[in-house]
Each structure stands twice: as C-alpha cells, then as structure tokens.
Structure 1
Amino acid sequence: MINAAAGAQNRTERFAAYSAHLEAFIATHGHSDVPRDGELGRWVASIRKAGRTGRLPSDKKTALQEMGLTFKPLEGRWEEGFRLLKAFVSREGHANVPKNHTEEGIPLSAWLHEQRREARNDRLPSERRERLVEVGVRGIFASKKHGRDAKFDKHASALGAYKRREGHVSVPRDHVEGGNVRLGAWLAAQRAKALQKTLDPAHYAKLASLGVRLEPSKAVRLGPSKARPARKERGARYWKVLAGA
C-alpha cells in the first residue's frame, strides 16, 4: 500500500511538472504542438493518445484543455500542417510520410493521419482534400456514402438531360447517355432497390421528382369468372356420381 501510494504521488507530481512546462511552452509559442524530439514533446504525445482513447481522467483533460492543449496535432492550424507537408514533398519527392515522422519538430505523420480520418468521416472540406491530393497524398478518400451520393448525382443529372431531350424517363435498359453513363441499367438498379426497400430516401425523392415510377403498378383484380360456378357444379355432380348418389 505504501509503495502504491508513493507511485500515485510520483505520477501526480510528474503530471504537475510536465503541465507547468507545457503551460510555459504554450505561453511562448501560442500553441501546444511541442516537438516530439524532446521529453516534453513525448509526454504531450502520450497525453494526447490517452485523451483519445479515454484513459486520461476527465479532470486532468479539462485542466489541460483550459491551459490550451489541443488533442489533435496542429488543430486549428491547418495551413501550417500543409506547409510542412509541402516542405516534406519538396525535399523527398513524394508524400509518403513515415510513421512518427516530425517536420520541424511537429508530428507531421500524426497530422496527415488525422486528415485521412477526417476525410473518411466526411469532415474534411473538399477544397482541403483537393489540395492534399494535388501534392501527392494518397488515401484521402471520402466515406462510401459520399462516393455513392456522387455517383447517384452523376446519373440523376444524366437522367434529367435525357428527360429534357426525350420528354419522358422511360429509358431503354441498354441506353447509354453521354457516351459513358449506362443510364438504362442504372435506372433498373434503382427500381430494384426501391422494391427491396433499400433505396436511400433522398435518392428515392430525387427520382420521384424527375417523374420516375419506382413502385410497380398494382394488378387489376378481375371479378369472379362466370365459368367458375359452372365448374364447381360439374365437380359436385362428378363426386355425386362416384358416391352413387
């Protein structure tokens, strides 16, 4: 118990000491991106990881945030991160930043990893995504839903052009619009999704606004056939004969 208490006290004192150094760094530099090539930088990296994974006590996390610590590298300083990335690309000839790489003491690889994560979660603005792709960054993909929406919009636009030209949306199954948009097959696939109740509601509404009928027409129920009673009567007489009636 004594050793455990001493260990807890040491951790508390260590946290207080590093926090004081971090506060001084923030006051001097105006940000909390401490270079990782020093002891304080490595401590900040470990604290950020603990904060992201939920292992940092909430009171300590709150105190550090109030001090000015951000839990994402270069948070609020995107242009600075992009400048460092361009410097790396200019020097190395590619944008494949190694894991744990720092540029000018800043964790560039961690920043780039965060950009990829933001892109997957549809939180990275398209303008930033385009700039990253332009300098050679790979893996800056939008979410699957974003990709599906983009494909849908492309085909819906082609369908609108078809309707304006032809005056209807009864697209032949093998029709190709604009030379490369397989509009007929795509529209058939949307109808199939509608029947299976898997079509995105927003996509359903868009197609309906273009005049596409997605639900099958209900079959007309015919009245009972006049011949049916006659067949029943013949059947009844047949069974009576068999029974010897």
Structure 2
Amino acid sequence: MIYAREHGDLKVPFTYRVPAADDQEAEDTVWPASLAGFPLGQWTADARRLYARGDMDADRVAQLEKFGMIWSHYDIAWEEGLSAARGWAAEHGHLLAPVDATFQGAAVGIWLKNARAAARKAQEIERRCAEGLPVGSSAGAMPDERREQLEDIDASWCPAWPVSWQRCFHLVRTHLNTGAALPTTPGEILRQGEDLGRWVQTVRHGWDQLTSVQQWMCEQVLGITPASEDEKPPRPRTQADKWAAHLAAARQFYAREGHLNVPRKHVETVLTHDGREDQYRLGAWINNQRSRAIGLTPERMEQLSRSACGGRNRHRRHRAGRRSGCSAVHVSFRKPDLLSGWTCPLRSLPGSQFGPPWPGRRRAGHPRRPLPRAASRSSRTVPSPPTPARTDPPRTVR
C-alpha cells in the first residue's frame, strides 16, 4: 500500500527493494525500518505467478486488487493502447491510422500496425486449421476477444489490402456523404493529408490491379468506373521496347546504306505509324551492341545478324610482345559467323573471348600490374643479349 500511495500504481520493477530510512526521498512516505531491503519487486512477481496458476486465495486477490494490483503488464499495455486507439478514432472518424500517427503522446500508428500483424496471424492459423494443415506455434496471435474490441471501434481496421487504400476509400465515402461530387482531379480535395482526386484517378487507371472485392466497393459504393483506353496514360517504355525501336532504326539504315558501319554520332530518324518522327542515336547504340556482343541473348544476336545479312567475316592481326622484350608474335582473332556484318571493329570485343590477351598493351579497364616491391627500377638488371648458337663449318661429303 505504501508503494501504491507513493507511485500511484503497483507496477513494481522486479529489482525494486524497500529503501532504508536514510534513502527515502519522499517526506510523506515512511517505510518501516523492519522492511528495509525487502525484495518487493520479486514478491510482486511471485504473486502474479500464483494468480496465473490459480493458486492464490480469493481474499488475497481482493486485497491486492483493492490496492490496484496489475496482474499482467501485457494486459495493461493493451488497455492503454486500446484507449489511445479509441481517442484517435473518435477524433478522425476511423481506425485506419498511418504508422506515424500519435494520440496524446501514444504511438497509435505503430500499435495498430502490430495489432494487425497479430490479427493476420490468427486468421492464418484459423485457415490452416480449417484446411487440416499443421499450425505450428500460435505465439503472437491475437485472441478473438481483442479483435472484437477493435472491430467495435472500426470494422474495417484490418483490411486485406493496404491500409492507405482503405483509408482513402473511407475518406472519399465520407466526402460523398456530405453531398459533394466525386473528386477526379489531383489536388482538388485534400482530407487528412490524402489527395482524394489523385486516389480516384489512380484507382480508375489501375482497375485491373484491384481485387474483385475492391472493384465492387469502388463501383457500387463510390460510383467509380474504370478508365477507358483513351483516358489511360501511355505505357512507359520498357527495355524491350527500346531494343525493338533501335532495331527497326538499324534495319532502316541497312536498307538505305547496305551496311551497318554506322558512324558513332549518327542519329537515325524513323517515321512512326501515327506520323511522328522519332530520332535514335543509332551510332552509339550499334557501338554498344558491339562491345556487349558476348552478353547478348541468342535471339538478339540473330536479330542483328538478320539486319546485317550480307556482311563478310574479317580477320585482323594484332602484334603482341612481351614486356621484357621478345620477338613479335602474330595472333589471329577470328569472330563467329553470327557476328558478321555488324561487329566489324574486333577491338571492341573482349580479347579473352576470342584469343589470348594483348601482352604489352594497356587495355581499357585493365591497368598495368605494378612491379613487385623488391624489384624497383634501380635494382632491375638489363637482360644480356642471347649468346649466338655455335655453328660448325659445313662438311663436304665425298
């Protein structure tokens, strides 16, 4: 009773001990000297365990509850969060709070996020039980009693789709209930930080991404209809679309010039079916395909080869020499037949794919290897010229 009078509750920490007379801070609270050092926190924890097992007498339970005994910290935390959720819902009209929502200092948004996770786990356990599947651990699942408490505040507090979508749906429905028209323009109506017009536009354009339940809610409750093909924004160009467009430009260039030796700065103009002129940096694109020829898929290699049909294989020889100085060696680089016509500059292909690297040359992206620390320029010895082989005088056969 002394602790409850001093702190206002019986949330006694487990490590709390009754202070001695010299350590007591409050002047109006006096602990008996005989209780100095008594482990009150441990005693309270033992009382909670006895109560949880049902081994505590009813009169003792009544005495402790009279002083405000807290039998479970989890229950107290739930009641505090539920009280804050009720206050937030009364202020905003729903329980679809964003994650950063607070009410009188309580993090209602985070509390509701954790509650939804517990409710979804309970629903998953119920589904697995109905299907006869193993359930596993049920730790963290929300009891039915607590779920009913939240549903009494707002029946749509835990939707099967994103909470932000359900929040905008509720705000649009509330806006329509006032007799106003359906907002369709972004920036027209703002409610609780949500752009209702933009949300309606997003729903109409992304109608196919909604579930059947969401479509029914939007169509029957809000009167939203899917957007027509003319109203939808143009589909963003994918990498495959860009490849097809540049390939068409390459075929147009080949049909006109008869080859694909495109200058690097060349820009090809292609007339589309709707009369629009699109320009493509064909020279840079062809050069990029040459440098990435090894990484292209067989289908794209075949497409480029068909565009450049009629080209012939070419061979180039590159002189290679050792760094220390040796006789020159000629290495022949031969490219596959599939790369003929559009991969003329063999220097753009990795040498490691078609032959040995080029000794004695600095390749792009491959810096020279540094000399060992022990072998500096001053300590390196110049190799002596090779000794000429000994030759015997020709012998005359008689």
Q: Shorter-chain TM-score: which interval? A: 0.3 to 0.5
TM-score (norm. length: structure 1)? 0.41
TM-score (norm. length: structure 2)? 0.29
Kindly name which structure, 1 or 2, has the bigger radius of gyration based on alpha carbons.
2
Q: Identify the structure with the greater helix proportion.
A: 1
Structure scoring higher RCO (CA < 8 A, sep ≥ 6) equals: 1
